[in-house]
Amino acid sequence: MTLMDTVLTLGFALVFIGVGLALVRLAIGPTLPDRVVALDQMTVSIVAFCGLAAIRSQDAAFLDVALVLALVGFLATVALARFAERVVIRREAREDEEEQTE
């Protein structure tokens, strides 16, 4: 086993750990922003996985998959952030209305 194989195996293990921890945060995250960040972390970890797979298999097709996944992940994060912002604004407006009625 060469040094490169050892490093790639360690890289895969760390990526799997990162995805697992992000999955836990996605499941138990108390707030919507926690879940959005966890989902973004999972996307980044999967992109890293694709990069490691491209190195191990010496096939550039994995890099195309990683690029598309990174773009989709970015757009999903932006969309979820806009949604979370709207939820927070509505909640604040509702709290202001309740304060004024009291």
- Which pLDDT score, from 0 to 100, does residue 101 have? 78
- Which pLDDT score, from 0 to 100, does residue 14 have? 96
Task: Encode pLDDT of 25-59 as tens digits.
Answer: 999 988 888 888 999 999 999 999 999 999 999 99
Is the four-CA dihedral 46, 24, 21, 16 of positive or negative sign? negative
Task: Please name the residue ranges forming H helices in 1-102.
Answer: 3-28, 32-57, 61-101
Is the CB of residue 62 less than 8 Å from the CB of residue 51? yes
Task: Encode pLDDT of 4-34 as tens digits.
Answer: 999 999 999 999 999 999 999 999 988 888 8
pTM: 0.80
Return the exposure string of 9-31: e unless at least 16 CB atoms fall within 10 Å of the residue's CB, then b.
eebeeebeebbeebeebbeebee
- Which pLDDT score, from 0 to 100, does residue 32 have? 82
Which 8-state DSSP code applies to residue 58?
T
